[in-house]
Amino acid sequence: MKLGVAILAAGQGTRMKSDLPKVLHPLADRPLLRHVVDTALELDLARFCIVHGHGGDQVRLALGDLDCDWAHQAERKGTGHALLQALPHLGDVDRVLVLYGDIPLIRAATLRRLLEVARQASLGVLTAFLPDPGGYGRIVRDHEGRVRRIVEEKDASEAELAIDEINTGFLIADRVALADWLGRLGNDNAQGEYYLTDIIAMATAEGRAIATTQPEKSEEILGVNDRIQLADLERRFQARIARDLMQTGVSLRDPARLDVRGHLQVGRDVSIDINCLFEGEVVLGDEVTIGPNCYLRDCVIGAHTQVLANSVIEEARVGTQARIGPFSRLRPQADLSDEVHVGNFVEIKKAQIGQGTKISHLSYIGDAQVGSGVNIGAGTITCNFDGVNKHLTRIGDGAFIGSNTALVAPVTVGEGATIGAGSVIGRDTPPHKLTLTRAPQRTIEQWQKPVKKRI
């Protein structure tokens, strides 16, 4: 059976009070609509169409890489009218699944269950039992419990309003029957709209079976209408990620104080302290520990490495058994080998750091190739920029750089060389020798402290 998916996304989103179309507002850095699309793509689908309206060009542009059809609903005339716009784009699929661009937490597993229960029926509806069903269409069943129709809240009687089974909006329908039903919809109702929900009564009138199922958690069917709901869904989504991580064996000090905006890949026995934010693609090896208040974006951290409190790592790679932080900053193309130690207020950019090298305090290492077993003293700076161009600093294996050294690039410090503290090194230094540029220390014996003049 060929499956087509239609995503309704033509709503204006007035209550967002935004120039950005509602379905492009981000949830964990991904547009709401993208979440729905990604979930749909987990299904085995043949065709797929998004119905856009307000801000349509912007929406298409934002999802530009997507291989799908777009239907335009120029005027917002109701969900039935919106779906009708999608039908011609779905070709000869057997069944049509309806999703919503502003309901991002729906799970593929739930949709698969809906497809499954409706395998023998012309229509399947995802419903939910809510203690407070206000705002939703209600599912009206007969004495035998068969679904008869859906009544919108604004059209419902007192008795119907008391029904606690609601229409989530998600449904699956036989494509040929659906085309017929949608073509016959009227708009004689409280809102003057073409209600998609009216197809249920049409199916019942034809004596067709209507299957129903429910999502595991009711958060799956929550929509976004304003920024308060958006923030609420963000927390729910983050809680879901935290739960998944813990299930795969990650220890989280507080699952409520973790944010993942992208994809976090983890080895065994990783532990993460509070208030950490992970963006893009982050890979943490076995037994990595992340201290509190860390920000990691697009990076790979090797096994058994400790990242201590308040560290920032972006587009960098760290080897195994390394120690980063507290208060370290690794910038793009920082490439640290195994067992490297980087301490507080150290910034590293576009630099390779060899195995076991220590840069423990207050340094800037940029555009550099640093060997293994190097010790870089506090306050060492690679002067990589002459105001116009960037230049390379090379430091050989086993070198010792004294505190407060300025390395004026391009420059090479030889293997095993020692640089005296406070030096300004502008020329290459020989291996295994002490080089320093410090002015000799002297004491002025005759010196006297000045006395204040009398006026």
Contact residues toward ligand UD1 (CB under 6 A) are 8-11, 51, 73, 76-79, 81-82, 100-102, 136-137, 150, 152, 166-169, 195-197, 223
Please state the closest distance from residue 25 (CB atom) to ligand UD1, in A: 13
Choose among 399, 403, 404, 389: nearest CA to 428: 399
Of all residues in this chain, which one has the CB nearest to ligand UD1 in the complex? 137
Nearer CB in complex with ligand UD1: 78/402: 78
**411 is written with which tokens?**
């420059």
| b (16+ CB within 10 A) / e for 28-42 | beebbbbbbbebbee
Cβ-Cβ contacts under 8 Å for 72 (sequence gap 6 or more): 51, 52, 53, 56, 85
Helices (H), 170-302: 175-183, 199-205, 227-247
Q: Tokens 């992208």 sit at which residue?
A: 262
Choose among 143, 142, 147: nearest CA to 126: 147
Cβ-contact 23, 7 below 8 angstroms: no
How far is residue 176's CA from residue 123's CA, in Å, rounded to a whole number? 11
361 carries an active-site annotation: yes
Helices (H), 63-206: 79-86, 108-117, 158-161, 175-183, 199-205
Nearer CB in complex with ligand UD1: 166/351: 166
**19 is written with which tokens?**
């120039």
Task: Please tell me which residue in 54, 89, 361, 391 is annotated as part of the active site.
Answer: 361
Nearer CB in complex with ligand UD1: 178/374: 178
Please state the closest distance from residue 106 (CB atom) to ligand UD1, in A: 11
**137 is written with which tokens?**
């269409």
Nearer CB in complex with ligand UD1: 79/293: 79
Nearer CB in complex with ligand UD1: 150/172: 150
Please state the closest distance from residue 143 (CB atom) to ligand UD1, in A: 23
CB atoms under 10 Å from CB of 275, counted, come to 17
Please state the closest distance from residue 197 (CB atom) to ligand UD1, in A: 4
Please state the closest distance from residue 167 (CB atom) to ligand UD1, in A: 4
How far is residue 256's CA from residue 397's CA, in Å, rounded to a whole number? 44
Nearer CB in complex with ligand UD1: 1/161: 161
**354 is written with which tokens?**
């060899």
Please state the closest distance from residue 350 (CB atom) to ligand UD1, in A: 45
Omega of the bond prior to 326 within 30 degrees of 0, cis?
yes
The partner residues of 370 in beta bridges, in order of sequence, read 353, 395
Nearer CB in complex with ligand UD1: 51/381: 51
Please state the closest distance from residue 279 (CB atom) to ligand UD1, in A: 28
Active-site positions read 361
